[in-house]
Structures are given as structure tokens and as C-alpha cells.
Structure 1
Amino acid sequence: MDKSEFDLIESYFAPLSKGYEEAYSLKNDAALISVHPDHSTVVTMDTLVAGVHFLITDPAADIARKCLRVNLSDIASMGAEAFAYTLSMAYNDDLDSEWVRSFTNGLESDQKRFSLHLIGGDTVKTPGPLTITVTCFGTVPRHQCFKRSTAQPGQDVWVSGNLGDSGAGLKILTGEIDVKNTSFREELIKRYRLPQPRMALGVQLLNQQLTNTAMDVSDGLLADLSHITNSSDVAAILFEENLPLSNAFTNLMIGNADLKTELAVTGGDDYELLFTADRIHRDKITELSNILSLKITRIGEITEGRGVSLIRKNGEEFSITETGWKHF
């Protein structure tokens, strides 16, 4: 790194705190968070490591936005609105101040888009890979949020957006899949590099009391739905024909039907919102989908029992060994 820690903070990171008075331009040892007494603060943290959660060859601005957005996706899964974040970065000698400039430009762009500010953090040097930790803060009406333990038999299972795009994008970047169509290639890579946290959907689902149960899809649909079923002591049935897939992903997988389904439900990094809801809310959820111009698809149902089953069009169960990403 060609600048000192304090030069980096003053030049690139302190401007990101502008507009948040209690961050004190990042010149104190800590920041303050003042929240209305009728609201609760939501806190989440994610650490991303080069070569594991992103590719070091990805554009610096995209890496920054992904690090922020995966945290915002957790905020959305609680039905919360974000207002601030902290950032810890462990650099190595491969990075210079121009890389940091591009990185902070990416943060600035998403701060404006999602209405939040940087309020603190830390910078250190490491001989290892670039490691970035973001802690994000949001707010909900006091004691109100989504949980994983409240799904009930008879409820529908819903998911926002499309599945599998991000997993396909990663396989394209690592050379595991070759794509001739340039527009499809760019679309799928973008989905890997830049997840779309469903902030407005999370807030509306909470405000309209359409669900008590939600989480984001980060490790893969089957793995994450299993977290809900295990916590709620229920089972779930998903229907292959209902899985929402993009045109780019569908065309990429022509002739590979099994791989298409497997990648859609285990690929991970989708960062879509997964939730359950009583059947009486179907029309309201469809209406919300139209209002937000966001695809929201009913993909299955919660039942009595244990585990998650994926049923094919012919009625047989789709067999998958690994349900998604495992950190250890």
C-alpha cells in the first residue's frame, strides 16, 4: 500500500461518513448510533475473503458493492431499513491507492442508492489474501422482525427474483462453463458480482404483515430453506417446474436439465429473499410483486415432518447430494 493508514482514511473513507454527524468524520475511536425509542436496531456482519467470496480480479468497485450488498441482504431478510455500516479491511502489498479509490467510489455509489453511511471501521496489513468485513445497522419497529423459526404447515414458500444466475456467473468466470452469447455472459457475471438486496420487499412484507418467516438465499435455496424448516420443526416441498429462472440461465443450460435444476437450488450467492406466507396472502403478494416490479414466485409449501424435498414434473423426487455452500 502506497499510503499510510490515516492518509487512506482521510482521503478515501472519511468522505463516506459525510451526512452522518455522529460518525465525527471517522476521527474518534468510535461512532454513536441514536435510534428512536419505538424502534429496534438490527445488526449483521459478513466477512468476505478474496478467492473464496469474490475474485481478486473483479473490479474494485464491484468488490466494494458486493461486500456492502450481502450485508444489506441480511438487513432486508429482517424486514429492516439500513442506515449505517462499519468497514474493516486487511490489505496486502498487491493493492495501491488507485485500487482503494475505485473501491470507495463503489461504496459511495451504493451509499446513495441505499441511503446509508460509513460510520467507522479499521484498516490493517496482512501477508494473506484481501479480507473485508462489513457490519451493517438497520432499524425496525421495536421487537418486530422476521425469524427462521415461525414457519407453519399449510403455508406457501416464496422467493424473489431468479435462482442460479450467480452460480452460473461464477462458473463462467472460473472457466467451468463457456458462453458464446456475450449479453448472456455479461448478465450472469453481473449477477455474481453485484447481488440485488431486496430492501423494499423486506420492508413491505413486514409493514403489511404478510409473513413472520424470512431469510436471504446466500448458501443455496435448499440449504437456506433447510435452516427454516429445521428451526421451525417442519418440512417443505418444492416443485421443480415453479423455480424462477432467467432467460440467460435457461439458454445457458439447454441440454443440461439436471445441471440446470441442481445449480438453481444449490448454487448460492443469489441473495434473493426467501419467505413463507399464509395462503390468504397470495393476492397481496402478487400485487406487491407488481408494485415493486419484482418477480416473486410461489415455489412450494410447508408441510408436517422434517426435511426439504424437490419434486420433478413427473412426481419423482430430485436427488441432490450437496444442498449448497458449506463454510467448513
Structure 2
Amino acid sequence: MQGSDDRIEDETDLVQTYLAPLAAGAPGAFGLRDDAALISPEPGTGIVVSSDPIIAGVHFFAGDAAADFAWKALAVNASDMAAKGATPFGYILTLALPEAPTRDWMQSFSAGLRQAQESFGCHLLGGDTDRTPGPLTIGVTMMGSVPAGKFVPRHSARSGDHVFVTGTIGDAALGLALRKIPAAFDDVLSEEQRAFALGRYLRPRPRIGLAEALRNHASAALDVSDGLLKDLRRLAGGSGMSLELGSVPVSSAVSAALTHDENLASLVLAGGDDYEILAAVPPNAVAGFKQGAEEAGIAVTRLGILEEGSPLEVRDLNGRFLDLQRLGYDHFA
């Protein structure tokens, strides 16, 4: 682990020095001095729960800055909250460490958590710390609130719904490629474009501001974590649609990479880690959804219209059908 040799040898010291301050402002957390947290939902709301761990060597590099993967651990869960139309309010943290961390490392890690929870509007409520013979593992279970009856499911899209996606797609996959091979695309990307792509990989930005528009106008939604095509198929259910690669919103960095090598289309369509939101919106709610997104300051792009019984077809920039054997990331493939 990064940091000096001043290692923390007492679990209580670790929790009370670096994690308990993150619970300040959450009465039910009891300063992380109890064995459980107390959650009192607001009248007329439901509690949405999502759990997404991240593991060194799978979701991040152990050599990355601790503040970055601490941010990511919260961001991937806050993204699920946003897609359900929920507002995050708290999270449980399970931190499994392969060795006693240094104080510098814990300071960086807790700073990343603080930056993320201040950005997403939530507090640490509790959790546990453990030693593990395996890689560093950060488990987060996040909770959010949603007005009664306004939860946005994943599998309720209907034929005729318009499919929208937020932001741009493929940036994180490009950032991962740059993280693996720093010299990649040296003659293709500017320093600004490289920094943008790396930033999108290291610190995803969940679209929390879109929650209200989703609650009010979407029939179904999910976040793009495993790849645009894989998550689009999940959203579509028994329906399909025709998707043009040129209609997928991309950043200038991804556009430059595609211009350099059109075979990188899979980077855009199946790369994963975007943490943008896919939403199915009924035709009569499209105008309201777009207005709500604009008011939230979140760009949305229409990808197509779902059609029952139709396949999911994708054409490249030259109008040729793309091979869809690999739709996205799979932990067990």
C-alpha cells in the first residue's frame, strides 16, 4: 500500500480516527461506536438499497491513489441510486485489507470517501474492517430514499418507448486502456483528452441530478456499468432496436481514438465503467424528460425506439452490421 511505514496496528484507532468523522451528521450512525445503525425513513418515502463491491485487480489498480478508488467505491453505488430515481443518504462500508494500512494511505482513502459523500449527499453509517489474504476489497452498501410509488424499475420498458442515454460513452474504457499502457494513443490524443479519459475511469460521476426526471417520466432505467450494449439489452427486455454507432454520444477523446482506429467501436459499445444512465421514456413523456434533464444540467441523447419482437442491431459508422458476440463485461466469462 502507498504511504510511509507508520502502520496502523489498532482497529479502533483506524475506525475512530479516519472513518468516524465521515459519520458526522448522521444521528443513526452513533459515531460508529455501536454494532448497528438506526435508519428512520421520512414519511411517504421508501428506502432503496444497492450493494456493489470493488476489488483490486478487477475494478481498480492497487497502485492507484487511495482517494481515487475510495471515490469510485461510492460512485458506482450512487449511480445505481440515481438510476432508480433515489437520493442517496447513507452507506455501509466493509474494508478488507491485505495488510495493516499506513496512516498516509488511510488519510488518502478517507479523504476520497469524504469528497465523494459530500458530492453525493450521503454519510457513512457503519460497517466493518477486516484482514484478508486476498486482494484489497471495498464493499459498499448504499441506501437512498424515493417517494412512495416512484421507484424506477429496470425491466418495465415497453415497445414504443424512446431510449435515452446521459453524457458520453466509452471514456472510462479509453481511460483504462491509457492506465494499462500510458504511451497508447500518443500521437492521437492531446494531453487534455488523455487527462479527461483517465479522470472518467478513476472518478466516475453518477448522474444523481437526473433522479427527479427519471421518477417523473421514465418507464425503466439502469446505469451503464457493464457496457452500453449489454445494459441496453437488459433495459430492452423482449424488445429490440436499431442502433447507429454514429448516434452514440462520445467525447472528443473517444472520437479521436475512433478516427484513428474504427475497430475500437467495441471500446465504445462494450467497454463498461461509464456509469451513465440508460432510460426508456414513453412517447408522451419525452418532452418532459428532456426538459427535466436540461434543468438538471445533464445532457441526454436519444438512441432509438424500442420495438417488440425486433432484434438489437448495431451498425458502424459505415452502415455495416457489427458482430454482437461480446456485449459487455462479464465477471465469469
- TM bin, normalised by shorter chain, reads over 0.9
- What whole-Å deviation, never above 9, does each CA across 1:210-235 have from its counterpart, x for those lacking one? 112000000001111111223xx222
Alpha-carbon distance, 1:284 to partner: 2.7
Matches within 5 A, 1:61-80: 61-80=67-86
8 Å contact kept, 1:226–1:307: no
Q: Does 1:309 align with 2:313?
A: yes
| 1:230-281 C-alpha deviation (Å, 9 max, x unpaired) | 3xx222322222100001111133231231x221110000000001112233
Residues 116-195 of structure 1 aligned to structure 2 (within 5 Å): 116-175=122-181, 178-180=184-186, 181-195=190-204
Deviations 1:278-311 (A, max 9, x none): 2233333332343222220001210111542213
> Higher mean Cα deviation, 145-154 or 217-226?
145-154
Aligned-pair CA distance for 1:3: 2.8
**Structure 2 residue runs without a partner (length 5+):** 1-6
The Cα shift of 1:177 comes to 6.4
Distance 2:118 2:282 in 1: 35
Number of the residue aligned with 1:115: 121
Contact 2:212 2:292 survives alignment (8 Å): no
Letter in 1 for 2:68: D
* 1:268-279 matched pairs, under 5 angstroms: 268-279=272-283
Displacement of 1:314 in angstroms is 5.3
Unpaired runs of 5+ residues, structure 1, are none
TM-score by length of 1: 0.94
Pairwise CA RMSD = 1.6
Corresponding residue for residue 256 of structure 2: 251
Corresponding position: 1:33 with 2:42: no
What is the one-letter code of the residue matched to 2:38? L
Cα distance in 1 for partners of 2:297, 2:47 equals 28
CA 1:308–1:138 in 2, change beyond 3 Å: closer, same or farther? same
- 1:213 corresponds in structure 2 to 220
CA displacement at 1:151 relative to structure 2? 1.0
Q: Distance in 2 between matches of 1:267 and 1:285?
A: 27
What is the CA–CA distance in structure 2 between the aligned matches of 1:284 and 1:89, rounded to whole Å? Answer: 42
Is the 1:41–1:138 contact (alpha carbons within 8 Å) kept by the matching residues of 2?
yes
Identity %, equivalent residues: 37
Match of 1:287 among 287, 291, 294: 291
- Counterpart position of 1:22: 28
The question of 1:326 aligning with 2:330 is answered yes
Establish whether residue 201 from structure 1 lines up as the match of residue 210 from structure 2.
yes
CA contact (8 A) 1:85 1:120 kept: yes
1:104 aligns with 2:113: no
Answering whether residue 11 of structure 2 is matched by residue 2 of structure 1, we say: no
- Letter aligned with residue 306 of structure 2: I
Query: Match of 2:260, SS?
Result: coil
3-state SS of paired residue (2:47): strand
Code of the residue aligned with 2:326 in structure 1: it is: E
Provide closer, same or farther for how the CA distance between residues 281 and 258 of structure 1 changes in structure 2, counting only shifts above 3 A: farther
SS at match of 1:154: coil
TM-score, reference length from structure 2 = 0.93
Aligned to 1:228: 235
1:253 is paired with a residue of what secondary structure?
helix
Indicate conservation of the 8 Å contact 1:201/1:292, yes or no.
Answer: yes
Deviations 1:140-166 (A, max 9, x none): 112321112211111111000000000
Counterpart of 2:259, as a letter, is: I
Residue identity opposite 2:204 in structure 1: P
Give the whole-Å Cα distance in 1 for the aligned partners of 2:253 and 2:289: 26
- 1:94 offset after TM fit, Å? 7.0
Whether contact under 8 Å (1:262, 1:320) holds in the other structure is no
